[in-house]
Amino acid sequence: MRAIVAGSQGLRIGEVAEPTPLPGEAVVRVAAISLNRGEVKRALSSTADWCPGWDAAGTVEVPAQDGSGPPAGTRVVGLLPSGAWAERVAIRTDALAEVPPGVSLQQAATLPVAGLTALHAIYRGGSLLGRRVLVTGATGGVGLLACQLARLSGADVVGLVRGHAEVVAATGAEPATDLAARAPYDLIVESVGGQVLGAALAALGPDGVCVTFGTSESSAATFDVGAFFRVGGPRLHGLVLTHELRVESARVGLARLLRLIERGQLKTSVEVIAPWTRVDEVARDLLDRRFTGKAVLEVA
Ligand SMILES: NC(=O)c1ccc[n+]([C@@H]2O[C@H](COP(=O)([O-])OP(=O)(O)OC[C@H]3O[C@@H](n4cnc5c(N)ncnc54)[C@H](OP(=O)(O)O)[C@@H]3O)[C@@H](O)[C@H]2O)c1
């Protein structure tokens, strides 16, 4: 079968072995995949051949042998540790959710990494009713979903942008180029790193929490460590999606996100839809930030 292979020549479609499912895995015929910044960065800098990919949506071809997952023919979306960008994949049923009618596989494909990261970052804020939330990297795949989820939770949301303010305004968040101007915040969903992380920590209100999960600008940051020891001082949580999913499985979170989309409460931001043969070009455009939101590739 065919799959996207990363290597010294960039990303290309190559021939790989068919998946061999474990008893708790379903084989899914993939129709749509989405690209994430972290995997694309790694894939485009690798020299040895390997099969990247975290997000895949398609149809169950062979149900899980242990009976834990949906039957053949069910439309599903799932998260893989790697190798999702292939014609067929074996996905653990606890990382697989049924896609409801009315939600396209292209929409669903944007959810595993970006949607679950946004969801778990929002969970870390506790009840957000009437509270103030800052989302940095607000125009990105995670950011646009985090803005909406925070709004849905009843928060006043500020989205930090360096352009494309209208995209963030459409989520119901207030776009801002200076995060300090709207401080203090109860929750900061932070993925830029560098100077933005330092400024974000200083912009937290009493007992506020900053959830850091990305370093799109830089992983080096300077901040006042003493602030952490003061009463009501800031709290910093490093979010790693795979760790969060040990507490609530991807299946549960994906089902929650899909329900919100089905009801029209959450919108996916699919900015690019292209055939998977264009993976190298779209991946480079993503890294160079030539579009906001998510890119989806159709597998055919
Ligand atoms: N820890 C985890 O488990 C986990 C999970 C998911 C994602 N991540 C990380 O989280 C980050 C966001 O992911 P994503 O998929 O949303 O990425 P993305 O779609 O590429 O979005 C990146 C966002 O960061 C902004 N940005 C990029 N470079 C910047 C810079 N130098 N200064 C200020 N803003 C900058 C972009 O703004 P413009 O639109 O203006 O370019 C955009 O809003 C990535 O670093 C990713 O690796 C981590």
pLDDT at position 54: 98
Bridge-based pairing state of the strands 132-135 and 185-190: parallel
Q: Is 241 in the pocket of ligand 1 (CB under 6 A)?
A: yes
**Where do we find the tokens 């067929």?**
88
191, two tokens: 């993925």
Cα of 212 vs centre of ligand 1, distance in Å, is: 11
Q: Is 139 in the pocket of ligand 1 (CB under 6 A)?
A: yes
Q: Across residues 228-246, what is the average pLDDT?
A: 96
pLDDT at position 184: 98
Q: Is 140 in the pocket of ligand 1 (CB under 6 A)?
A: yes
pLDDT at position 93: 98
What pLDDT, in 10s, does the model give residues 69-98?
999 999 999 999 999 999 999 999 999 999
What pLDDT, in 10s, does the model give residues 122-137?
999 999 999 999 999 9
pLDDT at position 288: 97
Write the CB contacts of 288 (distance below 8 Å, at least 6 apart in sequence): none
Average pLDDT for the chain:
97
Q: Across residues 173-195, what is the average pLDDT?
A: 97
Atom number, ligand 1, closest to the C-alpha of residue 294: 19
Atom number, ligand 1, closest to the C-alpha of residue 38: 47
The CB density around residue 80, as the number of other CB atoms within 10 Å, is 25
Give percent of the chain with pLDDT exceeding 90: 100
Give, as one character, the DSSP assignment of residue 50: B
pLDDT at position 200: 98
| Structural domains of the chain ordered from first start | 2-113+249-298 (3.90.180.10), 125-238 (3.40.50.720)
pLDDT at position 277: 98
pLDDT band at 254 (very low <50, low <70, confident <90, very high): very high
Q: How far apart are CA 144 and CA 150, in angstroms?
A: 10
Cα of 286 vs centre of ligand 1, distance in Å, is: 10
- The residue nearest atom 7 of ligand 1, judged by CA position, is 214
Q: Across residues 239-265, what is the average pLDDT?
A: 98
What pLDDT, in 10s, does the model give residues 128-167?
999 999 999 999 999 999 999 999 999 999 999 999 999 9
Q: How far apart are CA 163 and CA 135, in angstroms?
A: 14
pLDDT at position 231: 95
Per the document, the length of the chain is: 300
CB 156 within 8 A of CB 133: yes
Q: Across residues 207-218, what is the average pLDDT?
A: 97
Phi and psi (nearest 5°) for 100? -70, 160
**Where do we find the tokens 């053949």?**
72
pTM: 0.98
pLDDT band at 266 (very low <50, low <70, confident <90, very high): very high
Atom number, ligand 1, closest to the C-alpha of residue 140: 21
What pLDDT, in 10s, does the model give residues 1-30?
999 999 999 999 999 999 999 999 999 999
Give percent of the chain with pLDDT exceeding 70: 100
pLDDT at position 40: 97
pLDDT at position 286: 98
Cα 203 to the chain's mean position, in Å? 25
Measuring CA to CA, which residue among 52, 34, 96 is closest to residue 255? 96
Q: Where are the alpha helices (DSSP H) in 180-227?
A: 194-202
CB 52 within 8 A of CB 82: yes
Q: Where are the alpha helices (DSSP H) in 179-249?
A: 194-202, 241-244
pLDDT at position 112: 98
Is the bond preceding residue 112 a cis peptide, omega within 30 degrees? no
